[in-house]
Every structure is written in C-alpha cells, then in structure tokens.
Amino acid sequence: MRVLVSWLRDFVAVTASPEELAERLGLRGFEVASVEPAPDGVRPPWAQMAAGLDGVIDFEVTANRPDCLSVLGFAREVSTLYNLPLRLVTPVTAARVPNVEVSLPVVAVTIEDAERCPRYAAAMTAVTATTSPRWMVARLEAAGVRAISPFVDITNYVLMELGHPMHAFDFAKLSGGRIRVRRATPGETMTTLDGVKRELDTEMLVIADADRAQAVAGVMGGGSSEVSAATRVVVFESAYFQPASVRRTSKRLQLKTEASSRFERGVDIHAPVVALERALELTELIGAGRRGAVVDRYPSPRSPRTIVLRGARIGLILGLTIPDADVERILGSLGLALTRRADGWNVEVPAFRVDLLREIDLIEEVGRHHGFERLEPTFPPMSMAAAPADPRISRDRAIRTTLAAAGLTEAVTFGFIQSATARRFLRADDATQLVTIANPLTALFDVLRPSIVPGLLDVLAHNRRHGRRDVAIFEIGARFTIAHGERRAVGLAWTGAASTEHWSGSGREVDFFDVKGAIERLCDMLRVPVHWTPTAAPYLTAGESAAIMAGDSVIGIAGLMVPKIVDEHGAPKQDDVFVAELDLEALEAARASGVARETMGGADETVRPLPRFPFVVRDLSIVVSEALSADTIRGTIQTAAEGAPAPLASIAFFDRYKGKGVAEDCVSLSVRLTFQSAERTLTDVDVQQSFDRVRAALVQTHGAVQR
C-alpha cells in the first residue's frame, strides 16, 4: 500500500517526516518497502505543505489488516501512534442532505442472494465533465493507480482513501434500468473489463441487469456496461459481498483485483454508504457531475461485535504492566468503544476491524501500540525437567560422526527429484510406487525421492565436473514410496581413492569392501549385526551388489553403480561409483526385534567379564572352490566346532589367494581360529581335537584341500 503523506494529512495533522513515519510505523506492524519523494501536483489547494515533508511510503500490509489498504486506515494508526485526533470523512445526515438532481432516474436494486450480498447501495449521477483535476490524477498515480476517466478515477480515489471498492456502470446500458444481485445461471458467460470472456458457475454472484450479468460481484465489471465518453448517467455501486464467496469466485476465475483482494479479506459493512457519499462529494467537488438519489439495500443490519477484555489478562500475556488509561487511549484511538466493567472492559469493535475477533486480538493491539520495545526480557520458569530428546537425534548424530570419521562428507539434497531419474531407483522400476507432487514448480522436482542415492549421484557429478577426482559423500534424510510411506534412510556414494593420497604411495582405488566396511562400522556402532547376500537391482552392476540383511529382513543395499546411470547423472561413465543405502527404520525394527547382539545394546548393555584363561590361535590354509562363499565356510566351521573340547572364540579370514599353485576355479583361503574357554586353560590336546574337527568338516563338506 503506497501512502502519500499529504493525503494522510487530510485525516490527521501529523508533522513528522516521511522517514520518521516509516520507521515508527515499521515498529507498529507495517513493514516498509520504500520511501520516495512525492511527485509533483499531488497536493490539492487545501493540502498545502512544504514539498520536502511530503513523500510516498510503500508499506507491506499483513493479511489480517484489510482496513489498512487505505489512507484512512493508516491515518488511524498514525493518530494512535502520535496521540493526535482523527478527522473522519463526515457522514451525511438527514439534516444536511444536499441538493439532489430530481430529474435523474433511479435504478431499481434487488438483492436475490442476501447471504452472498448482505448490503448493496447505489447512487445516480448526471455526468457534466470528462476530465479529472490534476491533483486527483497525481494522487492516484502516487498510490500506484493509473487515471482513466473522472468516474473511474473517483471510484479508485475512494478505494485508496477509504479502502472500499466501488464500481461505476453506464446507466443507459443497464437493461430495464435494473440491478439484480443474483447468482449466475447455468452456462452463463460474461466478458469482463479486461476483454476476457468468463464462464461463470452457479455459485458465483453477479450484478445483472434485467437480461444478463454486467459484473462479477466484487471482482470485476463487464465491458458492455463500462462508463465511456458517451455516458450521460452513471450508477455508482458500493456494496458488501461475502468474503468467502468473492474468494472462491476470484480463485475459480483466476482473477485477482484490487476489489477482490479487499472483499475476500473483509471490508467494513458500514462503508458502502460512507463511500458512496464520499464519491458523490468528490463528483461535485471536481465538477464531474450532479448527484441523484441514493439507494441502500441492507435487509438484515448486523450488530457490532462486543468482546470482554480483562485487565489482568493483558499483563499475563505480555508480561508487562500497562496502565488502564493507556489501554483506553490506545483502543479508543483505534476506533474501539470501551465501557468499564469490574475486571476490565466491554469493548465494541468497529466493523472495519475484521481481524479483532477475541480477547487475545485486543491484547495484541494494546501491546503493539504500547510498544514491544518496552518488554523487559525475562525467562520462563521451569516447573519440571526437560523431556528427553527424540531418540533419532542422538542416533543420527552418531551416524554422521561415524561416517565422517570413515572419510565421507555430509551432503544435503532436495527431497524431490525428477520422475525419470527416480524410476531407476525403484526395485522393479514400478513407477506407481512414486509419490508424485500434484503442483510441482518444475519437472525437475516432480516426485519425492524413493532413494537418497540419485541426489548423491548429482552431487558426485557436480564435484567431478569441478575437478574433484575423489568424492565420498553421504546423506541422512527421508525417502518416500506409496507402499512404505516416509522412511528415514542414510545413503552414501564413493568414487576415486579409498583414502587420501600420501607421498609414501599407499593409495588404492575404492572398491566394494571399502563401502561394506563403512556400513559394517556403522551397523556395529548401532549394535545391529548384519550379513550380506548377493542381490540384483536395476541400478547396480550384476555380481557386485549385495543386500544388507539383519536377521531375515533386508535393511539396505550396496554395490557398484551401472555406468550408464552414472553417465546420465553427468559423471564420467568410466568412474567406478559405489553406493549404499540403509533403511534406518528397518534397522531400528531389527534392533527392537532382538537381532541386536545379546550382550550389547538394547535392553542389555551389561559388560562381559574379561577372560580369565589364555586363548590359543591356530591358522588353517585350505584350497576350496572359488564359488564357495566366506559365509558358508564360516558356517561350516562354526557347526563343526560346536561341542568340541576347545570352544571356538573367533574366526578371521586373513588371506585369500588365487593364481600360481592354485587350480583355475579354486582359491586358497587362510583362516585364523582362536580357541578360548571361560572355565579353564585349554590343553594342546583339546585344541588339536577341535582343530581336526573343523578341518575334517571342511574336507568332507566342501572338498577342501589343506595346504
């Protein structure tokens, strides 16, 4: 809302500079976008002041204050701020009804939908001139409105001054000399002032003549009854339309106007007649015409809203004591009527303050004009200990530090991605699983990500394009599918070196086992034992991808990206990019279901006693089929050692060799077996017996050959 200071002074005799007004109103809830010097010619004869004191302040008006979409609204704020009287536009009383041009016809007004239009007033005017004075044109332009013709200018002037939208019809174009406020008929159309033919629906309110719609009520007038140079008699419309109805119509027609934005927030139900009188006064002032009769249809007058304001409640909410006299001055100045009661006041709210609905709204008004700057900072007393934090907070912090300690840097990417990309990361390329955004701003963000990985690949590609050879990144965040809803996951992507390059030359490129190691460290930290099984996924290279399992449930996936997809994300396709993703909710479920190590985590965090008896280590080297998995061999060893005299404490694979001396499809494996008993010192005989059992089982089950 652009407010011209000299216009403001028509209502309140403030002498402050535009800059000061801007700053002080800025602290009363009206953010200032700009302060500009006033253009020439904006001061009519009665508004003389030094040009330097005039100016245009552009305020941002919050949605709850439609009354301040007007000079008058700001005048009221200024009068409260500076404790100055407000000069209202004098309401016309019966005693001073001016001369009326009796020869003018009178429009016949009928309201056929009083719910959508509780009040409709109209006034007749005989046209006598066709130009507006320079000050009116200049004031409108200062307010950001282009001058058009006297009668349109007058409605716009009243709009800016009082905040009440009006419309002007050419009376001759209203068939039957009638105005019917009715709903549109099925299939009815109308061409609005902007030249667009509008298809109306039966929920929309229109202003019609005897034959057809001439305006969309509260939104925009029609072209066929527009005031023109040939117009002899003008009908001013000044009405109150139901906010919800205007809002709906404006939304349906995708047509937002100065009028609709005010009506939909709520205008003053008393304003129609005041605005009409002001328009007639201006008409005669600028010599544009002579006034005729005024028609006012207001079938069920509304009574004003009364709110109880308790003095004690003001102090309780604000934490500040405000003297009663100040409360009365502030609210009185804002146009509210206060009457004393034992615990405070009965407050009658004027109809233009549509935002003041309950006691708290009045407390805000008192606090706002008393000044929030007077609040002394205090601290809320604690009456009980703080609640524990969401357990995910500490878990996610631990995940971040663990992965960062493993050399991966945290990324944050958007929760939405492109559907074409997203499809590739679904298990079966089942696009119906994607959570689609109904109103995406761009096709690049049209679905919620079903996986963290695609976003990470974009980040990886960005860094590769900027000369980064080695990229290791992770992200924790939500991912979404129709079947599983929102789930939190951690994803990682890794390409280039496995560790920082060093002059001693120990560099190595990242491989599957680096990623596996990082995930294992993470799961170990979270105390969920996992195992890995080969799996297939459309985005992972066959033979180098695995499902991460906790017990029988899949909690994640890891592997080498398909080069084509790496290429599509904009990274070189010859890059080996390893990715992994863990579903943190599946992981939590696994932990809760008791898959977690018996001796650690979950309910049982009891420490094991340190062993009292020494351990014995035996190494075993065998040649087995290459197809045999380490997990299978481990299983065979564990089964064989069960019940053996020397208990097996751990199994470690410490060497794997293929090549000279080992048959083509075979592999030489070295396994370190550690035996230890909690009850006694093991003898050589015990250990040998256990060792032999293991060896025999490997020979028997897998045809292993000892080296």
Partner 1 sequence: MSLPDQAAVQTQIASFETELTHARTARDAQAVRDRYLGRKNSVVASWMQLISSAALEDKKALGQRANELKQSIEARWAAYQASADQHARPSGAIDVTLPGRAPTLGRRHPLTLVRDRMEGIFTRMGFAIVEGPEIEDEWHCFDALNMPAEHPARDMQDTLYLATPVLGESRRADDKRTMLRTHTSSIQVRYMQAHQPPVRIVAPGRVYRRDDLDLTHTPMFTQMEGLAVGDGISLADLKGTLTAFAREMFSPSALVRFRPSFFPYTEPSAEVDISCWQCEGAGCAMCKRTGWIEIGGCGMVHPAVFEAVGYDAERYTGFAFGIGIERVAILRHQVQDIRLFFENDLRFLEQFPY
Output 46 or 503, the one with its CB closest to partner 1.
503
Output 108 or 317, the one with its CB closest to partner 1.
317
The answer to whether 38 and 142 have CB atoms below 8 angstroms apart is yes
Q: How many CB atoms lie within 10 A of CB 681?
A: 11
Q: Which residues contact 2 (CB under 8 A, 6 or more apart)?
A: 56, 57, 58, 59, 142, 143, 144
Task: Name the minimum Å distance from CB 293 to partner 1.
Answer: 36
33 binds partner 1, rule: CB under 8 A: no
Please give the size of the binding site for partner 1, defined by CB under 8 A: 93
**In the set 16, 178, 329, 445, which binds partner 1 (CB under 8 A)?**
445
Q: Which residues contact 401 (CB under 8 A, 6 or more apart)?
A: none
Q: Which residues contact 133 (CB under 8 A, 6 or more apart)?
A: 44, 286
Task: Name the minimum Å distance from CB 146 to partner 1.
Answer: 26
What x-and-dash track marks residues 400-429 binding partner 1 by CB under 8 A?
xx-xxxxxxxxxxxxxx-------------
Scanning residues 235 to 254, which ones bind partner 1 (CB under 8 A)? 244, 247-248
Distance CA 192, CA 203 (A): 18
**In the set 126, 435, 662, 667, which binds partner 1 (CB under 8 A)?**
435
Output 81 or 622, the one with its CB closest to partner 1.
81
Task: Name the minimum Å distance from CB 424 to partner 1.
Answer: 20
Task: Name the minimum Å distance from CB 317 to partner 1.
Answer: 6
Task: Name the minimum Å distance from CB 39 to partner 1.
Answer: 25
Q: How far apart are the first and last CA of the chain?
A: 90
Scanning residues 476 to 505, which ones bind partner 1 (CB under 8 A)? 477-478, 480, 482, 485-486, 499-500, 502-504
Contacts 24+ apart (CB under 8 A), 298-302: 298/118, 298/119, 298/120, 298/121, 298/272, 299/111, 299/114, 299/118, 300/114, 300/118, 302/118, 302/269, 302/351
Short-list 218, 261, 231, CA closest to 116: 218
Output 96 or 502, the one with its CB closest to partner 1.
502
Task: Name the minimum Å distance from CB 468 to partner 1.
Answer: 6
Scanning residues 50 to 69, which ones bind partner 1 (CB under 8 A)? 62-65
Output 213 or 452, the one with its CB closest to partner 1.
452
- Tell me the CA distances in angstroms from 412 to 235, 347, 455, 456, one per residue in order: 61, 52, 9, 9
For 598-616, b/e burial (b = at least 16 CB within 10 A) is: eeeeeeeeeeeeeeeeeeb
Lay out the sheet containing 305-310: strands in order across.
305-310, 344-349, 337-341
Task: Name the minimum Å distance from CB 552 to partner 1.
Answer: 21
Three-state DSSP at 191 gives strand
Scanning residues 358 to 397, which ones bind partner 1 (CB under 8 A)? 358, 360-361, 363-364, 367-368, 372-373, 375-390, 392-393, 397
Task: Name the minimum Å distance from CB 686 to partner 1.
Answer: 41
Task: Name the minimum Å distance from CB 374 to partner 1.
Answer: 10
Give the residues across from 666 on adjacent strands. Answer: 625
The answer to whether 545 and 565 have CB atoms below 8 angstroms apart is no
What x-and-dash track marks residues 308-337 binding partner 1 by CB under 8 A?
--------xxxxx-----------------
Could you tell me how many residues make up the chain? 707
Candidates 2-10, 12-20, 27-35, 640-648; binding stretch for partner 1 (CB under 8 A): 27-35
Output 414 or 653, the one with its CB closest to partner 1.
414
Q: At what angle do helices 18-26 and 71-82 cross, to 10 degrees?
A: 80
DSSP label at residue 557: E
Candidates 190-198, 464-472, 609-617, 690-698; binding stretch for partner 1 (CB under 8 A): 464-472
